[in-house]
Chain A
Amino acid sequence: DQQVKQNSPSLSVQEGRISILNCDYTNSMFDYFLWYKKYPAEGPTFLISISSIKDKNEDGRFTVFLNKSAKHLSLHIVPSQPGDSAVYFCAASLSGTYKYIFGTGTRLKVLA
């Protein structure tokens, strides 16, 4: 039973457009969320995070939105660039812990 779900295994977007990656979770006790990007043969690299006390966090082209009532978060990348093509994982941690549960990932392909 997966507590963190990324229901879209893949997504293709034209260069310059917005990429929206979605993540749903089931446990309302999750209070910190991360997004990671992973290139082939490399470990995941941290992108952006959000605490449950916020509903939005922005860092350059990356914005994460959190909707606690829907138990949903999304990562927006705008404008998308070909170098953004990678697998994106969302992860959530329970309040008071630093152990993260990861989603299964969404493969983003940005077309030039």
Chain B
Amino acid sequence: GAGVSQSPRYKVAKRGRDVALRCDSISGHVTLYWYRQTLGQGSEVLTYSQSDAQRDKSGRPSGRFSAERPERSVSTLKIQRTEQGDSAVYLCASSSLWAHEQYFGPGTRLTVT
């Protein structure tokens, strides 16, 4: 069956511009996570949502990162006023309710110039 997909796979943005990254999760999964993965620092949770929450819980760093869930199996991570330090791979993952196992997408590599 279809796994988690992300688009675009690569994104280049000029510093200061806003970007939106999309995640299509596995049908039936209710929890969606966004992670940021940087070299040498592992992956940190940016935000996650459960069930039908339209807007996700607070992200890190707060303010510029937010996620929306226009459909149950779709999430959009929005980064406002991008900074060079935002350059990273952004991973989306989903899981079924009360399950620990998360299924990851292939990631979007964001480069801020």
Contacts and interface: CB of A to CB of B under 8 A. Distances in A.
Interface in B80-108: 91, 93, 95, 99-107
B40 A104 contact: yes
Given A99-B33, A99-B48, A43 B42 contact: no
A42 B9 CA distance: 11
B101 A49 contact: yes
B102 A102 contact: no
A42 B107 CA distance: 7
Contacts of B105: 43
Q: Interface residues of B: mostly helix, strand, loop or mixed?
A: strand
Contacts of B44: 101-102
Contacts of B73: none
B12 interface: no
A99 B42 contact: no
Contacts of B107: 43
A100 B102 contact: yes
23 contacts: A4-B42, A32-B100, A34-B101, A43-B91, A43-B93, A43-B103, A43-B104, A43-B105, A44-B91, A44-B104, A46-B102, A49-B100, A89-B42, A98-B48, A99-B45, A100-B45, A102-B35, A102-B43, A103-B42, A104-B40, A104-B41, A104-B42, A105-B42
Interface of B: 4, 31, 33, 35, 37, 40-45, 48, 91, 93, 95, 99-107
